[in-house]
A and B are shown apart, each in its own frame.
Chain A
Amino acid sequence: MATNQLRQYITEARKSGMSNQDIIEALTKSGWHVHDIIDIVVDFPPKETGAAVISVRNVSKHFGKVKALDGVTLDIPSGQVIALLGPNGAGKTTLVRILGTLSQPTEGTVTIAGLDVVKDAQELRAIIGLTGQYAAVDEILSGRENLDMVGQLYHLPIEEACKRTIELLKEFDLEDAADRSVKTYSGGMRRRLDLAASLVIRPKVLFLDEPTTGLDPRSRLVMWNVIRDLVQGGTTVLLTTQYMEEADQLAHHIFVIDHGKIIAQGTSDELKRQVGGDVLELHLAEHKQVSQAAELIKSFGSAEPRFDSNTGIVTMSVQGGATVLVDVVRQLDTANVKISDVILRRPSLDDVFIKLTGHSAQ
């Protein structure tokens, strides 16, 4: 059946009231590979990009009495990087495991490309990639053997699996180490191999659970570039992170999650605008004076100042930037509080997080 015939079949099937799932099931039974037809069926009639590819509806997950997720609802458009930002224990990993078909929601439904994560898990696995928090690669095997194995488990013909392995090893700069046991790899190399394993079938949707946690800055930049390239190629990437900077750098859209609930969402700029104004950051010469300084400058801010006596830093949201800066410095000078550095900056996502939750994300 050529694509035109396929289109015709889908039109007929839709008319007779079949759902996308029914159509995909019928087509796979007649010998089609899910990977080849899923785009055509789901985007039929073809829509412009930006339509929701992942739809999470009222999802909760309970572990005994603990509610790891509590009524999460979100839509994720295709072809973007979406960040799920939150501190440890916020429920990020739980949500990614549900999206990646490793765990089932206690309540609610999730569909990805029209497929239900519980009922259609097996079909879904053929179009998604998942990289967990710990590099899930076989330490005893070599990098090449790991990728060959994954390719074969995706049911690629053996020659094709080997060919794909060679491409991926090259792409991820692992050619020289290809035939060495993974035990000898550095942390960054393992992560790259792990990510390569998730990309064997060029997934439509890729889930990355804290892809850069524990990586050195250089490996982190490499990973960021890989993620950007993937999205350029049309993959939707959902990543979790506890680093503001990462969400800021990579994500088109950010969901802030805390205690199993989505507490805010938007682009990085939209979230920062919620804090409003600027952030004034004072570095004191005498760390002990932070609470005294905070008290003195309180009246100039648009919110309560925060201070940390370990670092000697006082931060406060302000409206009216430079004018306030002068007033604050004068006030502290009169009270004989010495300042070693003053910074007036746009709010960071960390400021947003503190504003929303009352605690830092890290």
Chain B
Amino acid sequence: MANLKTTFSDIGVMTKRNLLHYRRLPQLIIFSFIQPVMFVLLFAYVFGGAIETSSGKYINFLLPGILVQTILFGAMMTGVSLANDITKGMIDRFRSLPMARSAVLAGRTITEMIRNIFVVVLMTAVGYLIGFRIEHGWGNFGFAVLFIALVGFAFSWVSAAIGLWVKNVETAQSAGFIWVFPLAFASSIFVPIETMSGGVRTFAEHNPITYMVNTVRALSLGTPVGNNIWYALIWVGAILAVFIPVAVHIYRKNT
């Protein structure tokens, strides 16, 4: 690192630029928010009656899961935005400037983290309107939000690597669904995994999303957290350790 100060300043400039996009085009946030709201309403009112959970009200079980699902789906935005910057020639512009090489990617993933916190707070408010209640204190819920932001940051890097690799907005979008869907549905987001059977159940039990959701659930409802939080943090660390270098490598090679 030639100069830590300019690196931080570059990351700041990039983050500001990305956040301005969300301010100018609020529909980008609104759409990433409508979809999880629909999931909450559909699951709570359509399946709610049919799904038995140990923790009482289904909405209390569902909402922590939906929060993780929201940031998982939202992570796809990272790759899509980067692919868009490549197509529009912005990445070439940035690469011809004497700015820190890491700032484009770091600025993007930090922006997505800020967006995630914003959307998670909004989702919680919607949850409150339809009966969700925090049962383990606001302090613990605050930790849950930070934990979700960290998880979102990690998945942003996966998405960044894919977006930089495919270099095309539409492909980045559909490539995103390939890894996001199985992770989201074969997990404890919507239903307790005890209700699943066979291979899916085994997959769900070891799915990182399950550990993450169980951690958020424990922090907001006061259910026992067990080893979930440690497994979840190990997964976050492993994803960051693998995908930061991979994304940076592809950025250098492929753009």
Point out residues on A near B: beta carbons under 8 Å: 100-102, 122-123, 125-126, 128-130, 132, 134-141, 145, 149-150, 152-155, 181, 197
A122 touches B98 (CB 8 A): yes
For the complex, give the distance between the alpha carbons of A128 and B97 in Å: 9
Residue of B nearest to A197 (CB): B93
Q: Of residues 77 to 95 in B, which have CB atoms within 8 Å of A's CB atoms? A: 88-90, 92-95
Contact A136 B90 (CB under 8 A): yes
B96 surroundings in chain A (CB, below 8 A): 100-102, 125, 128-130
Given A125-B98, A149-B13, A155-B9, residue A132 in contact with residue B20 (CB < 8 A): no
Whether B98 lies near A154 (C-beta < 8 A) is: yes
- Chain B contact residues: over half helix, strand or loop, or mixed? helix
Tell me the minimal C-beta distance from B185 to chain A in angstroms: 34
Q: Which of A123, A128, A135, A153 contacts B99 (CB 8 A)?
A: A153
Q: Does B136 contact A (CB under 8 A)?
A: no
Cα–Cα distance between A112 and B8 once the two chains are bound (Å): 29
Known: A140-B21, A181-B24. Contact between A153 and B94, CB under 8 A?
Answer: yes
In contact, A136 and B92 (Cβ under 8 angstroms): yes
B25 lies within 8 A of A140 (CB): yes
Measured CA separation A138–B94 after assembly (Å): 11
Picked from B2, B9, B95, B98, the residue with its CB within 8 Å of the CB of A102 is B95
Which bucket holds chain B's interface residue count? 20 to 34
Query: Is B10 positioned at the interface, with any CB of A under 8 Å from its CB?
Result: yes
Query: Can you list 19 A-B contacts (CB < 8 A)?
Result: A100-B96, A122-B98, A123-B98, A126-B98, A128-B96, A129-B96, A136-B92, A136-B93, A137-B93, A140-B21, A140-B24, A141-B24, A149-B17, A150-B93, A153-B94, A154-B97, A155-B98, A155-B99, A197-B93
Q: Is the CB of A135 within 8 A of B90?
A: no
B5 CB to closest chain A CB, in angstroms? 9
Interface check B35, CB cutoff 8 A: no
Q: What is the interface of chain B, defined by CB distance below 8 A to chain A?
A: 2, 6, 9-10, 13, 16-17, 20-21, 24-25, 88-90, 92-99
Determine how close the nearest CB of chain B comes to the CB of A141; give it in whole angstroms.
6
CB distance from B83 to the nearest CB of A (A): 15
Bound Cα distance from A65 to B54, whole angstroms: 62
Nearest-neighbor residue (CB-CB) of B97 within chain A? A153
Given contacts A125-B97, A145-B17, 13 further A-B contacts (CB under 8 A): A100-B96, A102-B92, A126-B98, A132-B93, A136-B89, A138-B17, A140-B20, A140-B25, A149-B13, A152-B9, A152-B13, A153-B94, A181-B24
Chain A residue with the shortest CB-CB distance to B12: A152
Measured CB to CB, the closest approach of chain A to B16, in angstroms, equals: 8
**Is A153 touching B95 in the complex (CB atoms < 8 A)?**
no
Assuming the contacts A102-B95, A153-B10, asked whether A141 and B20 have C-beta atoms less than 8 A apart, the reply is yes
Contacts of B95 in A (CB 8 A): 101-102
Complex alpha-carbon distance, A321 and B150, angstroms: 79
CA distance A302 to B37 in the complex (A): 79
Q: Chain B's nearest CB lies how many Å from the CB of A102? A: 6
Complex Cα distance, B95 from A100, in Å, reads 9
- Residue of B6, B10, B90, B93 most packed against chain A (CB within 10 A): B93
Contacts of B17 in A (CB 8 A): 138, 141, 145, 149
**Nearest A residue to B6 by beta-carbon distance?**
A155
Task: Please give the distance in Å from A176's CB to the nearest CB on chain B.
Answer: 20
Report whether B97 and A134 are in contact in the complex, using a CB–CB cutoff of 8 Å: no
Q: Which residues of B contact A141 (CB under 8 A)?
A: 17, 20-21, 24
Contacting residues, chain A, for B88 (C-beta < 8 A): 134, 136, 139
Query: Which residues from chain B contact A100 at a C-beta distance below 8 Å?
Result: 96
Cβ–Cβ < 8 Å partners of A153 in chain B: 10, 13, 94, 97-99
Give bound CA distance, A152 to B17, whole Å. Answer: 11
- What is the bound-complex CA distance between A139 and B25, given in angstroms? 11
In angstroms, Cα B248 to Cα A247, docked, is 39
Which of B10, B89, B92, B96 lies at the interface centre, i.e. has the most chain A CB atoms within 10 A of its CB? B96
Chain A's nearest CB lies how many Å from the CB of B97? Answer: 5
A132 touches B90 (CB 8 A): no
Instruction: Give bound CA distance, A101 to B6, whole Å.
Output: 20
B residues less than 8 Å from A102 (CB atoms): 92, 95-96
Partner of B20, one of A101, A128, A145, A152: A145
In the complex, what residues of A have CB within 8 A of residue B25's CB?
140
CB-defined contacts of B24 to chain A, threshold 8 Å: 140-141, 181
How far apart are the CA atoms of A237 and B25 in the complex, in Å? 37
Question: In whole angstroms, how far apart are the Cα atoms of A155 and B12 in the complex?
Answer: 12
Q: How far is the CB of A194 from chain B (nearest CB, A)?
A: 8
A128 to B95, CA, bound (A): 12
Q: From B28, which residue of chain A is reached at the shortest CB distance?
A: A140
Give B9 Cβ to nearest chain A Cβ, in Å.
7
Contact B89 A132 (CB under 8 A): yes
Q: Give B89's nearest chain A residue, CB to CB.
A: A136
CA distance A141 to B88 in the complex (A): 14
With A122-B2, A122-B98, A145-B20 given, is the CB distance from A134 to B13 under 8 Å?
no
CA distance A140 to B23 in the complex (A): 10
Q: Which residues of B contact A136 (CB under 8 A)?
A: 88-90, 92-93
Q: Which of chain B's residues has its CB closest to A97's CB? A: B92
A197 surroundings in chain B (CB, below 8 A): 93
A130 and B25 alpha carbons, distance in the complex (Å): 29
- Distance, CA A155 to CA B6, complexed state (A): 7
Partner of B89, one of A134, A145, A150: A134
Which residues of A lie under 8 Å from residue B10 when comparing CB positions?
153
Bound CA span A305–B93, Å: 46
Chain B residues within an 8 Å CB radius of A181: 24
A-B CB proximity, top 3 nearest: A136-B89, A136-B93, A125-B98
Q: Which of A128, A145, A153, A197 has the most C-beta atoms of chain B within 10 angstroms of its own C-beta?
A: A153
